[in-house]
Chains A and B, each alone.
Chain A
């Protein structure tokens, strides 16, 4: 059913801490590893060992450079996967009913047996969260590891998405963002979690925690004032050279 549910009982999703992410891509590898051999068609690669390798990924880590008005530039590693939007535009455009949003937990899924591979859902997604698998001809997307989180054959500690389970920095959190008392909701409230491209009106469930402000020099050490050796005007030989060159 491509009609979005009026209400979902829970809003399962991810909270991604841009302050903590070190850009190691472990989540990308864990995601590909789990999802290539579980839910649906494998995540194929093309020309994997050739000159122009390409493949299907449900999670990719970008890196951005942010240059503030004053101060040093900052590098922000930016993992991006399906945001399981409340107003998911990818679901309503689907002509076959293969794309759907679950009313019980809000997870957006693709029933691959119904997918005709038209690609319109990928066009409708502003975030690039859906990728057509070149080998299987069906649309692949993050399932929030629906085959892990409810899987009672796994130890309880493993019943979370593979990307969250593997993150060595603790930059990824999984939980119910519809429950204001949940750990993830409180984290979002405490850290001022944000939506990506809110002007698209998609109401993403996944939230991003912005990087925290960097330390400033004043806070470094009480000895810091004694550590300012830089002379604006050169002295000694360099000073003579500077003056001599000026006179030329």
Chain B
């Protein structure tokens, strides 16, 4: 799949933002006043910034309001509804904490639940696609949600939850890669089944429909950069999970090490998310002889 910058930025930043919201909603840290202001500012900039980035890849962003209507069938619509609900509820919760020093735990829990729902809905947009076997299994939502939670815990300065979550998310990330590597073959999609000609002999793509490229090739048959996949995986695992884990476990790690841990995590997750798209193979590539 084409690793579109807008979608990579959206899923990474929004994941981090909603991950932080979950911890703020749960009262970890329990903050009010100016401290709360900065925490919520960071969470909102990440979450809303990510959502704005995602709007850039739309053909018609001005019609985006219509995306709130089909929540009964569409995970993308559910994501939109959950995201706005989470931002509204957390907005009220945050305003009370910042301006009145008042924390209403029930409101925070509701905001945290809606934020978690947003993360799950985002993950399900990819998980639901049977056309992309690498994504179409249970480790995909686990990977995306655990990474967002780990990043949220890191930003929230929750050392114990962050270290447990970074370890778990790192292991799930490795699992997602290794399971994903064999998913296409296991799903059994071949040029033979795609054309229905497989029972007659060996099928080979002889000639594409047109000599030029097209939307399908650009969007779903993306192949550039896979030769560096292993290096990028090592960088993603190292910067995204291992280094932040080591940094926050340094005794007396303060804001400086914590800040480096967050930046390292963010860089690692960007690399991971780029691979998430670039390595994902859509079955339509079969028709173009691109999946052998």
Among B194-239, those with CB < 8 Å from A are 194-197, 200-210, 212-216, 219-220
At the interface, is chain A mostly helix, strand, loop or mixed?
loop
Contact pattern, A 109-142, Cβ under 8 Å of B = 1, otherwise 0? 0000011111110111111100110101111000
Among B79-129, those with CB < 8 Å from A are 80, 125, 128-129
Give CA–CA (A132, B130) in the complex, Å.
20
Interchain CB contact under 8 A, B128 and A93: yes
Which residue of chain A has its CB nearest to the CB of B286?
A197
Interchain CB contact under 8 A, B70 and A2: yes
Interchain CB contact under 8 A, B196 and A210: yes
Report how many residues on chain B are interfacial, defined by Cβ distance under 8 Å: 57
A2/B73 contact (C-beta < 8 A), A63-B206, A116-B66 known = yes
Checking B59, B187, B206, B288 against A138 with a beta-carbon cut-off of 8 angstroms, the contacting residue is: B59
**B220 neighbours in A (Cβ, 8 Å):** 122-123, 128
**A120 neighbours in B (Cβ, 8 Å):** 76, 125
B37 within 8 Å of A (CB atoms): no
Interchain CB contact under 8 A, A118 and B209: no
Interchain CB contact under 8 A, B204 and A67: yes
A231 within 8 Å of B (CB atoms): no
Interchain CB contact under 8 A, A57 and B209: yes
Which residue of chain A has its CB nearest to the CB of B209?
A60
A78/B195 contact (C-beta < 8 A), A89-B130, A93-B128 known = yes
Nearest Cβ in chain A — how far from B186, in angstroms?
11
Interchain CB contact under 8 A, B197 and A128: no
Interface residues on A, range: 35 or more
Interchain CB contact under 8 A, A93 and B74: yes
**A95 neighbours in B (Cβ, 8 Å):** 66-67, 69-70, 74, 76-77, 80
Checking A64, A96, A117, A197 against B69 with a beta-carbon cut-off of 8 angstroms, the contacting residue is: A96
B255 within 8 Å of A (CB atoms): no
Interchain CB contact under 8 A, A64 and B76: no
B30 within 8 Å of A (CB atoms): no
Interchain CB contact under 8 A, A137 and B74: no
Checking B125, B196, B201, B215 against A122 with a beta-carbon cut-off of 8 angstroms, the contacting residue is: B215
Interchain CB contact under 8 A, A128 and B66: no
Interchain CB contact under 8 A, B60 and A137: yes
Which residue of chain A has its CB nearest to the CB of B81?
A95
B252 within 8 Å of A (CB atoms): no
Give CA–CA (A137, B59) in the complex, Å.
4
Which residue of chain B has its CB nearest to the CB of A73?
B201
**A96 neighbours in B (Cβ, 8 Å):** 63, 66-67, 69-70, 77
**A174 neighbours in B (Cβ, 8 Å):** none
Of A47-55, A161-169, A222-230, which binds chain B? A47-55
Interchain CB contact under 8 A, B60 and A76: no
Give CA–CA (A219, B64) in the complex, Å.
64
Checking B80, B131, B204, B209 against A123 with a beta-carbon cut-off of 8 angstroms, the contacting residue is: B131
Nearest Cβ in chain B — how far from A209, in angstroms?
10
Interchain CB contact under 8 A, B212 and A54: yes
Give CA–CA (A54, B215) in the complex, Å.
8
A64/B63 contact (C-beta < 8 A), A95-B80, A123-B129, A197-B193 known = no
Q: A54-B213, A116-B64, A134-B215 are in contact. List 15 more A-B contacts (CB 8 A).
A: A3-B72, A56-B215, A62-B208, A68-B200, A95-B69, A95-B70, A95-B76, A96-B67, A96-B69, A114-B66, A115-B63, A117-B58, A119-B57, A131-B216, A210-B197
23 inter-chain pairs at a CB distance below 8 angstroms, sorted by A residue, are A54-B212, A54-B215, A55-B212, A56-B215, A57-B214, A61-B209, A63-B205, A63-B206, A64-B205, A66-B200, A67-B204, A68-B200, A68-B202, A75-B206, A80-B287, A114-B66, A116-B64, A118-B57, A122-B219, A125-B284, A127-B284, A208-B196, A210-B200
Minimum-distance CB pairs A-B, first 10: A117-B59, A137-B59, A60-B209, A68-B201, A95-B77, A96-B66, A128-B284, A95-B76, A95-B67, A63-B207
